[in-house]
């Protein structure tokens, strides 16, 4: 994409319009080619990174906030607390242990644990619509 001649021409033209080539006394078409090649190298590096991590990033795909990540994790934990075929025979829900698992998961994913989710247990069955730890 970035190494094609139209990209080089556009970059060269932009450099020429603002006299950006004057500082190095390098013709704009050489600088345009350099920038196009740099974009191509960057594209290759990001593809290699995606392959290394086993992910595919798409435009507009961003990382959710720590608050939203915590909300999703703790809602899932709350829902998981009632995912039993025989709920009455499931025993007692260990809310402190579930909350620790949620905090550990957030940290393992690289998120900071938001203030409202620190040292608080998970409310069993709290999977609907934004329930915070109780």
**DSSP class per residue in 82-104:** T--TTGGGS----HHHHHHHHHH
- 3 pLDDT above the threshold of 60: no
Residue 92, Cβ density class (10 Å: 0-12 exposed, 13-18 middle, ≥19 buried): exposed
pLDDT at 129: 44
- Tens of pLDDT, residue by residue over 33-48, are 999 999 999 999 998 9
pTM above 0.85, yes or no: no
pLDDT at 43: 92
pLDDT at 36: 93
pLDDT at 38: 94
3-state secondary structure of 129: coil
92-96, 107-111, 118-122, 124-128: least confident range: 124-128
- Tens of pLDDT, residue by residue over 72-100, are 898 888 888 877 777 777 777 788 888 88
């Amino acid at each position: 994409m970035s190494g094609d001649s139209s990209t080089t021409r556009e970059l060269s033209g932009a450099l020429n319009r603002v006299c950006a080539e004057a500082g190095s006394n390098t013709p704009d078409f050489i600088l345009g080619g350099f920038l196009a090649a740099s974009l191509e190298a960057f594209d290759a590096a990001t593809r290699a990174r995606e392959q290394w991590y086993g992910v595919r990033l798409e435009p507009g795909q961003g990382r959710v906030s720590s608050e939203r990540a915590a909300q999703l994790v703790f809602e899932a934990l709350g829902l998981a607390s009632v995912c039993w075929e025989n709920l009455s025979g499931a025993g007692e829900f260990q809310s402190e242990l579930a909350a620790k698992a949620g905090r550990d998961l957030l940290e393992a994913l690289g998120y900071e644990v938001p203030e409202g989710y620190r040292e608080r247990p998970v409310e069993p069955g709290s999977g609907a619509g934004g329930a915070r730890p109780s």
